[in-house]
Amino acid sequence: MKAAVCRSFGAPLVIEEIEIAAPQAGEIKVKLAACAICHSDILYAEGAWGGELPAVYGHEAAGVVEAVGPGVTTVAPGDHVVVTLIRSCGHCHYCAQGALVACETTFPLDETSPLASKNGEALGHGLRTGAFAEYVVVEASQAVSIPKDIPMESASLLACGVITGLGAVVNTARVEPGSNVVVIGTGGVGLNAVQGAALCGATEIIAVDLADDKLEAALKFGATSTINPGKEDVGEAVRARTSGRGADYVFVTVGAKAAFDQSYSLMGPTGTVVLVGMPASGVMSEIDPGSIAAYGQNIIGSKMGSARIQIDIPNLVSLYKQGRLKLDELVTGRYALEDINEAIDSVKRGEALRNVILF
């Protein structure tokens, strides 16, 4: 099969013919139809989080099940599925608590990649998925069946961007109706945090971004107002729109240090900052612990929107079919696998909400 291989951090991906193993017990093979490009893929390919090369990245995908290994009963060949990076056993300490994104089980695919070059060289199974390729082999728990009338390019977004942004609001923070919400960063994840806040019935949904076109998009996704930090003071603007109190919830959906540092000052008493964006390794942020304690404030992390994909993705599909969840509108560009570097460069220039590779 063809795949986009990362052989050197920061260098363009290389389109190669590679080998993929057959699915073993508990695993499935999926012929991909679409894979969206997430900033996490780009950061990995740039070396921001280390890792071994060569590797195949890509993790926001949808396709058709081609084969299943022994013991798989959750999906069958011919099923349309969303493929995620969330791999869960269902019975470890964290899975038993419903925290599937924190599953501590080691799977065979964690130890041996199903990918290899034509000369037998092992290729990293990037983000447990390796979806910048025509096929993937993943653990069955990573896939969720979807109706066959859902466009694959839209369905692929459910694998990460949607569940991460919307899930941070709905699952992790559990935003209450009437809350005042700030979302810092209005790319693919941030717009879904905006959608989530609107679905929760937030009163003020304030979108913050340096790009005016993304702020315009945020208004279409449910934001009640926007702030461009290059044009006005964010703290003053937030307080002015929240009766001087500050926000009940601040979602940081970008991995920039400046965004983390600023977020703490935007929440009011008893407010909560939710850290969603992932910075490069080594990036640090300072807080005033006395202020956090005195005002009863909270700082929490949200990994993959605390998703329980077998529950959340069908619910999101239902919202999409009802016209209450925007997915099609998130797709900015469509590219062939051979043009993946062009698609990535477009994302890095800030031109895209989500660029999608179509197979």
Answer yes or no: is 200 within a domain.
yes
Do both 25 and 153 map to the same domain? yes
Answer yes or no: is 307 within a domain.
no
- Dihedral (Cα; 145, 147, 152, 156), 10-degree rounding: -40
Do both 292 and 170 map to the same domain? yes
Do both 12 and 123 map to the same domain? yes
CATH number at residue 280: 3.40.50.720
| Rounded distance between C-alpha atoms, residue 193 and residue 186, angstroms | 9
Do both 201 and 112 map to the same domain? no
Show pLDDT as tens, one digit a residue, over the chain (359 residues).
Answer: 999 999 999 999 999 999 999 999 999 999 999 999 999 999 999 999 999 999 999 999 999 999 999 999 999 999 999 999 999 999 999 999 999 999 999 999 999 999 999 999 999 999 999 999 999 999 999 999 999 999 999 999 999 999 999 999 999 999 999 999 999 999 999 999 999 999 999 999 999 999 999 999 999 999 999 999 999 999 999 999 999 999 999 999 999 999 999 999 999 999 999 999 999 999 999 999 999 999 999 999 999 999 999 999 999 999 999 999 999 999 999 999 999 999 999 999 999 999 999 99
DSSP conformational letter for 90: S
Q: What is the pLDDT of residue 242?
A: 98
Containing structural domain, residue 50 = 2-159+327-358
Do both 255 and 172 map to the same domain? yes
CATH number at residue 144: 3.90.180.10
Answer yes or no: is 8 within a domain.
yes
Q: Label residue 12 exposed, middle or buried (CB < 10 Å: 0-12, 13-18, 19+).
A: middle
Tokens encoding 130: 């390796």
Do both 60 and 86 map to the same domain? yes
| Rounded distance between C-alpha atoms, residue 160 and residue 233, angstroms | 31
Do both 20 and 140 map to the same domain? yes
Answer yes or no: is 68 within a domain.
yes
CB atoms within 10 A of CB 172: 23
Do both 75 and 197 map to the same domain? no
DSSP conformational letter for 133: B
Do both 207 and 263 map to the same domain? yes
Answer yes or no: is 316 within a domain.
no
Do both 253 and 141 map to the same domain? no
Q: What is the pLDDT of residue 290?
A: 96
Answer yes or no: is 311 within a domain.
no
Answer yes or no: is 62 within a domain.
yes
Answer yes or no: is 319 within a domain.
no
Whole-structure pTM value: 0.96
Do both 10 and 119 map to the same domain? yes
**358: phi then psi, degrees, rounded to nearest 5:** -110, 135
Our count of domains for the chain comes to 2
Q: What is the pLDDT of residue 97?
A: 96
Q: Max Cα separation, the chain?
A: 65
Do both 147 and 84 map to the same domain? yes
